[in-house]
Chains A and B, each alone.
Chain A
């Protein structure tokens, strides 16, 4: 159990275009999902917390108008990188927190990641 999928796994796009990444919890419901990015040989950096039915909470320094997050259902969150630039090239990983008996577990299960390259 606790499987999270992410699509696409790899995307190459031109500078100025937008890219949408989907994150789905396949066998559990997730009120809360998270979006991270990771640069080579660095730790995960939390970008935003996605809450079903409400606005996402962004970490300091992350532009909400550039990284649009939508959490439309208990199993799907999307991240759209708008007007992408080469410096946005990174590994983007989502995670979903499994709720246990109505309480938070804080256990996060990660999707396989999306490698974005902006040319």
Chain B
């Protein structure tokens, strides 16, 4: 089983729509969770860390469900500039490295 699994999409949504991505992780000892976005042929950029209590940054809301071992990202009022691949990233508690999901491709349509 993969460390991190995501629905690859693609998600095609109209401008202004609300879209949600989920991601599951296999290691219950995982301690740190992140969402990154990656534009085509570019490096990943940290979008937000995901805290146990959930956190919000403008139009973006991230939540963590430890019992079910998944994290989610909600994007409200989608903009064309939100089109990208969103990577779910999990730190395997105690290890040095991060595990990346394969990403969910989002395209926001005018």
Contact = CB atoms under 8 A, between A and B. Distances in A.
B32 A44 contact: no
Given A44-B44, A106-B32, A111-B43, 8 more contacts: A32-B96, A34-B97, A43-B102, A43-B103, A93-B44, A107-B46, A109-B46, A115-B41
Give the interface size bracket for B toward A.
Answer: 10 to 19
7 contacts: A42-B102, A43-B103, A46-B98, A57-B96, A106-B31, A108-B46, A111-B43
Interface size class of chain A, counting residues whose CB lies under 8 Å from the partner chain? 20 to 34
A43 B100 contact: yes
Contacts of B43: 93, 110-113
Contact of A49 (B32, B42, B91, B96): B96
A contact face: mostly helix, strand, loop, or mixed: strand
B24 to A, nearest CB: 15
Interface of A: 2, 32, 34, 42-44, 46, 49, 57, 59, 91, 93, 106-113, 115
A68 B42 CA distance: 24
Interface of B: 31-32, 34, 41-46, 49, 87, 91, 96-98, 100-103
A115 B32 CA distance: 29
A112 B43 CA distance: 5
Nearest to B91: A106
A49 B100 contact: no
A113 B100 CA distance: 17
B42 A113 contact: yes
Nearest to B99: A46
Contacts of B101: 43
A93 B103 CA distance: 16
A115 B97 CA distance: 22
Contacts of B45: 110
A113 B42 CA distance: 7
A16 to B, nearest CB: 27
A10 to B, nearest CB: 11
A111 B103 CA distance: 19
Given A32-B96, A34-B97, A43 B32 contact: no
